[in-house]
Amino acid sequence: MTKVAIIGAGEMGRTLGSLIIQKGHSVYFWDKFADQLIGLNQDSDQSLPAIIDSAEVIFLCVPSSALREVLFFIEPYLKAKQVLVSLIKGLEASQGLTATQFISKIVPRCYLGVLGGPMLAEELKANLPGGAVLASKRAKVLDLVAPLLSNPKLRVETSSDLAGVSIAGVLKNIYVLGLGAGEALKWGANARALYLTEALQEMIKIGHFFGAKTETFFGLAGLGDLLATGFSLDSFNFQVGQSLVNGKDLSQISEGQASLPILLDLLGPRAKKFPLLLLLKKLVLDKAEAKILYTQAGYL
């Protein structure tokens, strides 16, 4: 039995924990909001230091905006060679790093992995199939974590492309904003395919800037996650894209919204090489008229 800590008891954290518990492993949750923990931990007296100290694997299931704060909380208790697995699909705002880049900078003593792919929490909860890619440069991480997750309904692949899986999730959330807007505009199947093809091409080229491998984007972490998130009504980034067309005011900021300006700053003048990314800048940041943008780009 492997002892697991899940940091962040939101929908994804709870779903992940449930999958691991079903395989007979011990899971403890921590969240800075105590009400999120009601009914979760078997031992209500489990403190954060105790949870971290006993865990062999720690999953980080928090928004990118909370990453710095979370590491502040848990860093004092982390041990050398302890396994950290990130499910964060956004850029850390203060330094413009992917979650795995930021984590490795703050706690280099830990062994690091990242989990990506089409694994929507709502579908996993409903016992529908999904796919995941676990990436790490450490064989220990792959050997220890993959068996925790793999089951008949969740296909788990492994990869050494830590950078690729990390940035693929970030880029997917950004480009899904445009898919949501396109669906709200009732574009056709041809235009949808055109957008997806161009989005994937740009994701690959931007991924190279982060040291990613091309093949990662043709697999579950890239194309697979883009398709699943891009056409799921449960996807918040998809909903945000729709809201940019229908004028509905959403109270939260999505990972795609938050990461887009950070990515543009990182790319600088190179952003001009990515016309679809610039369209998203006009749509999301400049609040340009979506119908005009999509017509000019040949999607309507």
Positions marked active-site:
172
Q: What is the 3-state secondary structure (H, E, C) of 44-71?
A: CCCCHHHHHHHCCEEEECCCHHHHHHHH
User: CB of 254 within 8 A of CB of 240?
Assistant: yes
d(CA 26, CA 48): 15
Nearest to 16 by CA among 130, 173, 110: 130
Nearest to 239 by CA among 193, 176, 185: 176
Helix (H) or strand (E) holding 291: helix 290-296
Residue type, 163: A
Query: Strands of 154-159's sheet, edge to edge?
Result: 26-30, 3-7, 57-60, 83-86, 111-116, 130-136, 154-159
Q: What does the DSSP 8-state code read for residue 247?
A: -
Greatest Cα pair distance, the chain, in angstroms, is 59
Strand 111-116, strand 83-86: pairing? parallel
Question: Six-digit token pair at 188?
Answer: 């056709």
Question: Six-digit token pair at 20?
Answer: 């691991």
